């Protein structure tokens, strides 16, 4: 949070304001420059562009200082810290080239990466935006030119040209360098001579308080090539974007999306398990009916009569299924089938006791159903 002296000599805090005409968001001391660059018709009339605080409906004085302060939530801090450490662990080495002249002054339109200030201005809490699922990414057609990826199923467009177009950037003519493709998320548009963020264009969440930080890499594109080199966030705008919270959330959404494509959604997985369970139940019941029908056709007894009938308990750890020598024809045939059928064996060993259907009352009911059929 920087300060600036007004006409009275008092120091006022810098904060974000939004143009009422074009909805651009910039620092409060950038109103005059924004008017000259975006609204020259007002500048000719010696007028400034009307600005408001983001989220407000009425116009505010650009030099009104923010009063309230609040701390960033622990979740946000931990998420950003973990993302920062993962990026720094990669030890990205960026070679200086002809486009880098050592100028590390911040651009006038650099955004202040301070979520605490945003909470004060917007009047919202950041933790309310973290309750959405990571795969709740927007599905609308992304912004940007036509010569880069148009859907999340496409890969980042990274063309290699013999000569990239040059434009005047500062006091030199500069061009894009294909070495910057080591940022895997980077897309280059030949038509606009600008770079975009693949993850933020396809997987950013609507309504995030940090969305406007990525607008340059989503809608308009970034082309200040001298700011694309360096090992610190202050020198390198691409690295600064890669470490931003909104970009990290977009990457998380991208990984969740790929995981869903590989494994299927939770609902589809549950549905497949349910269908498989129905098939196994049907197979088990049909097998019982076929065993009973075979016994009836051979005119042999279903079970031992009187005190001779004695079915042994099945040991789930045993290799083979055996109900004992006096279990009767039905259970003996069921054990024989179970020793050659994994579905039947699994039901006999691990199935619920009230769903094995081996009781004599169930056997009689199944025979009656076959007779009625």
Q: Which of 204, 200, 209 is nearest to 16 (CA)?
A: 209
Specify the pLDDT at position 231: 84
- 119, 125 Cβ separation under 8 angstroms: yes
> What pairing do the DSSP bridges indicate for beta strands 172-175 and 166-169?
antiparallel
Q: What crossing angle do the helices spanning 266-298 and 342-350 adopt, rounded to 10°?
A: 100
Q: Which of 169, 182, 171 is nearest to 222 (CA)?
A: 169
Strand partners, 237: none
Q: Which of 203, 200, 239, 236 is nearest to 221 (CA)?
A: 200
Specify the pLDDT at position 45: 77
Specify the pLDDT at position 85: 53
Give the 3-state secondary structure of residue 118: helix
Query: Average pLDDT per run of 10 along the chain, which is 373 residues long?
Result: 53 77 85 86 81 60 40 45 50 47 44 41 39 42 79 88 85 88 91 91 66 71 88 87 90 87 73 86 91 89 64 62 80 89 88 82 84 76
Q: What are phi and psi of 96, to 5 degrees?
A: -70, 145
For the chain, the structural domain boundaries read 16-52, 166-262, 268-372
Torsion on CA atoms 236, 241, 245, 247, rounded to nearest 10: -150
């Amino acid at each position: 949070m920087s300060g600036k002296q007004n006409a009275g000599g008092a120091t006022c805090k810098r904060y974000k304001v939004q143009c009422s005409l074009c909805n651009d968001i910039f620092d409060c001391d950038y109103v005059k420059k924004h008017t000259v660059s975006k609204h020259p018709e007002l500048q000719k009339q010696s007028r400034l562009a009307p600005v408001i605080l983001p989220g407000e409906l009425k116009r505010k004085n650009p030099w009104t200082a923010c009063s309230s302060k609040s701390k960033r939530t622990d979740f946000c801090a931990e998420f950003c810290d973990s993302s920062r450490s993962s990026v720094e662990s990669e030890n990205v080495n960026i070679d200086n080239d002809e486009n880098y002249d050592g100028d590390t002054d911040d651009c006038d339109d650099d955004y202040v990466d301070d979520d605490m200030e945003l909470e004060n201005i917007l009047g919202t809490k950041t933790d309310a935006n973290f309750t959405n699922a990571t795969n709740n990414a927007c599905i609308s057609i992304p912004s940007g030119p036509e010569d880069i990826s148009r859907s999340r199923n496409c890969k980042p467009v990274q063309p290699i040209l013999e000569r990239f177009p040059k434009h005047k950037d500062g006091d030199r003519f500069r061009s894009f360098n294909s070495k910057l493709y080591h940022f895997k998320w980077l897309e280059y548009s030949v038509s606009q001579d600008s770079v975009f963020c693949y993850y933020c264009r396809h997987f950013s969440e609507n309504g995030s308080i940090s969305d406007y930080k990525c607008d340059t890499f989503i809608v308009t594109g970034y082309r200040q090539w001298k700011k694309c080199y360096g090992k610190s966030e202050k020198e390198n705008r691409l690295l600064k974007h890669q470490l931003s919270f909104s970009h990290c959330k977009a990457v998380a959404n991208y990984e969740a999306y790929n995981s869903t494509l590989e494994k299927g959604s939770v609902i589809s997985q549950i549905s497949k398990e349910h269908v498989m369970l129905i098939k196994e139940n049907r197979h088990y019941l049909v097998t019982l009916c076929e065993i009973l029908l075979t016994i009836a056709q051979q005119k042999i007894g279903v079970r031992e009569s009187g005190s001779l009938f004695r079915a042994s308990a099945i040991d789930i750890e045993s290799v083979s299924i055996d109900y004992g020598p006096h279990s009767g024809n039905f259970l003996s045939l069921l054990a024989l089938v179970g020793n050659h059928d994994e579905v039947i064996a699994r039901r006999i060993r691990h199935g619920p006791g009230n769903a094995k259907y081996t009781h004599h009352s169930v056997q009689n009911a199944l025979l009656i159903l076959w007779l009625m059929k």
